[in-house]
């Protein structure tokens, strides 16, 4: 890297650390880009900012479409700002919000927060795969931390694999549920429930209050049978109304209690270390697959091999090993 780009990189990093939102937005755009030169710049920037990162509380928020995630983040974020905190919100929805997310555009979501000085909201980039979104979000998270945000909220629609990806990058996973779910738990898979540190029944207001109380009891029962994920913390069920902004203070208190408990037990740092290692492995396998796909010899053989595998003429394992052997031999 030459001296000019070195100094402009240092300048960009300094602007981010000084809390310049446009510099931050520019960095995330760089991170989202798939261009090779942008990728190199993004990596250099992250390298520079890494020592400044790590100080935020990272919260993943998930739940079925329509549960009130944006409304909740709007209320919770305002409460946090009232407590003197600054927060960034990143969304993790591969292929935009087409598959059942909010029908409102991202512009109209979180209206108050998006105007707040102390908040930074970054919607999901369109057209990235889950792997791409996960990488971009992990990196965007580090950059937001370097910009000094106290809280980073990573939001995802609670229907698929993205929860696992989010749980691997946050300190606390908060799952929002609807009142009156019964025991099928509204399409939320048991595996996703098991990721949650705090479960919140939203829409605890008006006619829905009775159902909310019943759901809270059902969920508490289900939790009693599960293995806690962390030493020092048993998952809890709370109720709130994001719309009426009631019960948000209690959620905030439990979020703080969680962070304190995990820091005391040592689980907080241990989880971050494990996540960093898992990230390394994700990067390794993603980079390997990219290199494989970009290899002209692999590309030349792939079509024929796929056909043979499809016709049952060769086992997938054998085909993979022969492709890989050739690739490793050449590199
Ligand atoms: P998302 O798809 O999970 O992001 O859900 P939204 O935040 O877009 O909310 C979906 C719908 O539920 C909207 O019409 C909200 O006004 C409504 N909603 C959200 N929170 C509450 C709540 O606490 N109580 C009630 N009654 N409605 C709510």
pLDDT (tens digit, 9 = 90+) per residue, 204-255? Answer: 999 999 999 999 998 898 888 888 888 889 999 999 999 999 999 999 999 9
What domain range includes position 287?
A: 278-330
Q: Name which residue sits closest to atom 7 of ligand 1, judged by CA.
A: 68
Q: Indicate the pTM of the whole model.
A: 0.88
* Same domain, yes or no: 216 and 316: no
Domain edge (last residue) among 232, 265, 298: 265
| Closest C-alpha to 216, from 243, 171, 251 | 251
Query: Could you tell me if 181 and 215 are in contact, meaning their C-beta atoms sit under 8 angstroms apart?
Result: yes
Tell me the C-alpha to C-alpha distance, in Å, between residue 143 and each of 50, 209, 255, 317: 8, 40, 23, 40
Residues 48 and 64 in one domain: no
Q: End of a domain among 19, 37, 52?
A: 52
Which residue from 63, 66, 71 has its CB within 8 A of the most atoms of ligand 1, so it is best to mutate?
A: 71
Which of 61, 63, 66, 92 to mutate for ligand 1's pocket (most ligand atoms within 8 Å of CB)?
A: 66
Whether residue 68 contacts residue 202, with contact meaning beta carbons closer than 8 Å, is answered with: yes
Whether residue 290 is found in the same domain as residue 169 = no
* Closest residue by Cα to residue 152 from 75, 60, 16, 278: 60
Measured by CA distance, the residue closest to atom 20 of ligand 1 is: 68
Q: Which residue has its alpha carbon closest to ligand 1 atom 9?
A: 68
Torsion of CA 112, 53, 194, 99, to 10 degrees: 50
Which residue among 89, 205, 243 has the greatest number of ligand 1 atoms within 8 angstroms of its CB, and so is best to mutate? 243
Q: Alpha-carbon distance 61 to 199, whole Å?
A: 10
The tens place of each residue's pLDDT in the chain, 331 residues long, gives: 444 477 899 999 999 999 999 999 999 999 988 888 998 999 999 999 999 999 999 999 998 888 999 999 999 999 999 999 999 999 876 554 444 444 444 445 788 998 999 999 988 776 667 777 788 899 999 999 999 999 999 998 766 678 888 899 999 999 999 998 654 555 666 778 889 999 999 999 999 999 999 999 988 988 888 888 888 899 999 999 999 999 999 999 999 999 999 999 999 999 999 999 999 998 898 888 888 888 898 888 888 999 999 999 999 999 999 999 988 888 7
Token code pair at residue 186: 């509204």
Strand order in the sheet with 119-122: 119-122, 87-91, 151-155, 57-62, 172-177, 198-201, 236-239
Alpha-carbon distances of 274 from 15, 54, 57, 281, 308, rounded to whole Å: 30, 14, 16, 11, 40
Return the ligand 1 atom nearest residue 240 CA.
Answer: 23
Provide the CA 325 distance to its chain's centre, in angstroms: 35
| Ligand 1 atom at minimal distance to the Cα of residue 206 | 26
Separation CA 255–CA 315 (nearest Å): 49
CATH no. for residue 41? 1.20.5.170
Phi/psi for 74 (5° steps) reads: -60, -45
Reference 67, options 153, 198, 158; nearest CA is: 158
271 within domain boundaries: no
Asked whether 151 and 87 are in contact (CB, 8 A), the reply is yes
CA of 206 to the centre of ligand 1 (A): 14
Task: Looking at the structure, tell me whether residues 106 and 230 fall in a common domain.
Answer: yes
- Would you say the CB of residue 97 lies under 6 angstroms from ligand 1? no
Centre of ligand 1 from the C-alpha of residue 131, in Å: 28
Q: Are 182 and 218 in contact (CB under 8 A)?
A: yes
Structurally, the chain folds into a number of domains equal to 3
| Residue 176 and residue 202 in contact, taking contact as beta carbons nearer than 8 Å | yes
> What's the confidence (pLDDT) of residue 101?
41
């Amino acid at each position: 890297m030459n001296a000019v780009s070195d100094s402009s990189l240092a300048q960009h990093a300094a602007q981010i650390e000084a809390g310049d939102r446009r510099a931050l937005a520019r960095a995330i755009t760089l991170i989202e880009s798939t261009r090779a030169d942008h990728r190199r710049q993004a990596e250099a920037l992250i390298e520079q900012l890494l020592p400044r990162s790590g100080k935020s509380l990272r919260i993943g928020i998930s739940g079925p479409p329509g549960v009130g995630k944006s409304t909740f983040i709007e209320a919770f974020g305002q409460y946090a700002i009232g407590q003197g905190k600054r927060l960034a919100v990143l969304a993790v929805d591969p292929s935009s919000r087409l598959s059942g997310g909010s029908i409102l555009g991202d512009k109209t979501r979180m209206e108050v927060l998006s105007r707040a000085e102390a908040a930074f909201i970054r919607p999901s980039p369109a057209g990235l795969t889950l792997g791409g979104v996960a990488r971009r979000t992990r990196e965007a998270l580090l950059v937001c931390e370097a910009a000094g945000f106290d809280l980073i909220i990573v939001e995802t629609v609670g229907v698929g694999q993205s929860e696992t990806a989010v749980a691997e990058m946050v300190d606390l996973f908060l799952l929002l549920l609807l009142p009156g779910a019964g025991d099928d738990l509204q399409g939320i898979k048991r595996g996703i429930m098991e990721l949650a540190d705090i479960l919140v029944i939203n829409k605890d207001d008006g006619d829905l209050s009775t159902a909310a109380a019943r759901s809270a009891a059902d969920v508490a029962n289900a939790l009693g049978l599960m293995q806690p994920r962390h030493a020092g913390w048993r998952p809890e069920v709370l109720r709130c109304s994001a719309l009426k902004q009631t019960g948000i203070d209690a959620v905030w208190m439990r979020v703080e209690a969680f962070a304190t408990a995990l820091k005391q037990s040592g689980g907080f740092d241990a989880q971050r270390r494990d996540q960093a290692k898992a990230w390394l492995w994700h990067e390794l396998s993603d980079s390997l697959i990219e290199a494989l796909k970009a290899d002209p010899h692999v590309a030349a053989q792939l079509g024929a091999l796929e056909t043979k595998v499809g016709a049952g003429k060769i086992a997938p394992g054998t085909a993979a090993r022969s492709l890989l052997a050739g690739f490793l031999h050449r590199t």
